[in-house]
Amino acid sequence: MNSPLSTPVALLVFNRPELTRRVLDVVRQARPVALYVVADGPRPDRPEDEPACAAVRAAVDAAIDWPCRVERLYAGRNLGCGRRVSSGIDWVFRQTSEAIFLEDDCLPDPTFFPFCAELLERYRNDPRVGQICGCTFVAPRLDRNTSYVFSRYGPVWGWASWRRAWQAYDFALAAWPVARAAGWLRRVSVSRREARWRTRIYDDLWAGRIDTWDYQWGFAKMQQGLLSAVPCTNLIENIGFDMAATHDDRHNRGLSRRTMPFPLSHPDGVACDEDFDRQFSRKIAPGWPRRIVGRCKRLLGLA
């Protein structure tokens, strides 16, 4: 049997018991010594949520069959994706200085946990590094001679970080109006296209038109100049693309999880992989031809 994972794991759940069970099956293999469970509550206008949320919480209880300290933060009412996840992460970091995070639709390869644990220790006191990622978003494998690269971007389909980095997070995005007026995004984005895309996102967040938490995290990391360690082998598969999903990310469907080879091969230094960042930027902020093609495919039921 593998040694217990000494790094705490935080699981963010809501109303999908089957997905939660699948993710917990892999967490059980890692046997973390501490598990933090953050759950949102049922939506008042969705009567099916109450039994589904109860089933998720029962699934958590049934899965924990190893020696483990369990802390639960369960909402009695629905807080929404943005407030529930961000406040849950705040709560986790009030209790521990570092943690590995999984949402209920992020199915990890078992090697995701030792990968995160090793890099959390390696870069614990390095102020240049703000996040460890489990997902590449670009391809199942990157053609590099290292186990991971550094990027100004940081996907959150399975990730890990430290309290010291999360302290820069602001759900309200209070710094955005000044940053927008100063043209800050154009200086830190790979392209004008990406800067325009991010401007729309942050404008919508500021106006309260988007209920999410992760764009604010990306904003905080970019503003602080924090880099993310992105694995060259994709370690997370998103299994949540169905009618119950809160958000859809169609262009990243089909990105399968792989196994990370050990021992890890570390980069020589902490610096952006500019080629990866260009690929990532094109993926998250596609030009108008790709957007039109994608929209047509969705209208025709082909995507």
| Residue range 48-64, pLDDT digits in tens | 999 999 999 999 999 99
pLDDT in tens, 13-40: 999 999 999 999 999 999 999 999 999 9
pLDDT in tens, 77-94: 999 999 999 999 999 999
> pLDDT-derived band of residue 1, with 50, 70 and 90 as boundaries?
low
What pLDDT is stored for residue 286 in this prediction? 74
Are 52 and 199 contained in the same domain?
no
For every residue of 213-252, DSSP letters joined together read SHHHHHHHHHHHT-EEEEESB--EEE---STT-SS--GGG
Are 289 and 160 contained in the same domain?
yes
Is residue 115 situated within a structural domain? no
Pairing of strands 9-13, 98-103: parallel
Question: CA dihedral defined by 259, 280, 206, 76, rounded to 10 degrees?
Answer: -10
What pLDDT is stored for residue 302 in this prediction? 44
Q: What are phi and psi of 174, to 5 degrees?
A: -60, -25
Last residue of a domain, one of 64, 88, 104: 104
Are 54 and 181 contained in the same domain?
no
Verdict on whether the full-model pTM lies above 0.85: yes
Q: How far apart are CA 184 and CA 3, in angstroms?
A: 46
> pLDDT-derived band of residue 288, with 50, 70 and 90 as boundaries?
very low
Are 144 and 88 contained in the same domain?
no
Is residue 120 situated within a structural domain? no
The CATH number of the domain holding residue 4 is: 3.40.50
Q: How far apart are CA 13 and CA 59, in angstroms?
A: 11
Question: CA dihedral defined by 7, 262, 150, 26, rounded to 10 degrees?
Answer: -50
Host domain of residue 4: 1-104
Is residue 172 situated within a structural domain? yes
Are 189 and 71 contained in the same domain?
no
Are 97 and 135 contained in the same domain?
no
pLDDT in tens, 145-165: 999 999 999 999 999 999 999
Q: Are the beta carbons of 23 and 158 closer than 8 angstroms?
A: no
Is residue 116 situated within a structural domain? no
| 92 three-state secondary structure | helix
Q: Does the pLDDT value for residue 249 go beyond 90? A: no
Longest C-alpha distance within the chain, in Å?
A: 56
Is residue 114 situated within a structural domain? no
% the chain with pLDDT above 70: 90
Q: How far apart are CA 112 and CA 26, in angstroms?
A: 10
The larger pLDDT score, comparing residue 190 to residue 249, is at 190
Task: Give the amino acid at 293.
Answer: V
Sequence-distant (≥ 6) Cβ neighbours of residue 186 within 8 angstroms: 192, 195
Are 80 and 149 contained in the same domain?
no
Q: Are the beta carbons of 234 and 255 closer than 8 angstroms?
A: yes
Q: How far apart are CA 267 and CA 144, in angstroms?
A: 10
Are 150 and 67 contained in the same domain?
no
What pLDDT is stored for residue 139 in this prediction? 87
Q: What are phi and psi of 258, to 5 degrees?
A: -130, 175
Q: How far apart are CA 139 and CA 269, in angstroms?
A: 23
230: closest CA among 153, 143, 302?
153
Are 69 and 140 contained in the same domain?
no
Last residue of a domain, one of 86, 104, 122: 104
Q: Mean pLDDT for the chain?
A: 91
> pLDDT-derived band of residue 300, with 50, 70 and 90 as boundaries?
very low
Are 86 and 163 contained in the same domain?
no
Is residue 111 situated within a structural domain? no
| 279 three-state secondary structure | helix
Is residue 126 situated within a structural domain? no
> pLDDT-derived band of residue 201, with 50, 70 and 90 as boundaries?
very high
pLDDT in tens, 202-217: 999 999 999 999 999 9
Q: How far apart are CA 277 and CA 297, in angstroms?
A: 27
Mean pLDDT in residue range 117-140: 96
% the chain with pLDDT above 90: 86
Q: How many domains, in total, are found in the chain?
A: 2
Angle in degrees, CA 262, 266, 269, rounded to 5? 175
Are 100 and 143 contained in the same domain?
no
Q: Are the beta carbons of 277 and 151 closer than 8 angstroms?
A: yes
Last residue of a domain, one of 85, 104, 123: 104
Q: Does the pLDDT value for residue 299 go beyond 60? A: no
Sequence-distant (≥ 6) Cβ neighbours of residue 244 within 8 angstroms: 15, 16
Bridge partner list, 9: 35, 100
Are 87 and 190 contained in the same domain?
no
Q: Which runs of E-coded beta strand occur in the chain?
A: 9-13, 34-39, 69-74, 98-103, 106-108, 129-133, 148-151, 159-162, 227-231, 236-238
What pLDDT is stored for residue 287 in this prediction? 62
Mean pLDDT in residue range 252-281: 92
Mean pLDDT in residue range 8-14: 98
Task: Give the amino acid at 75.
Answer: A
Instruction: At 45, list the tokens.
Output: 């206008």
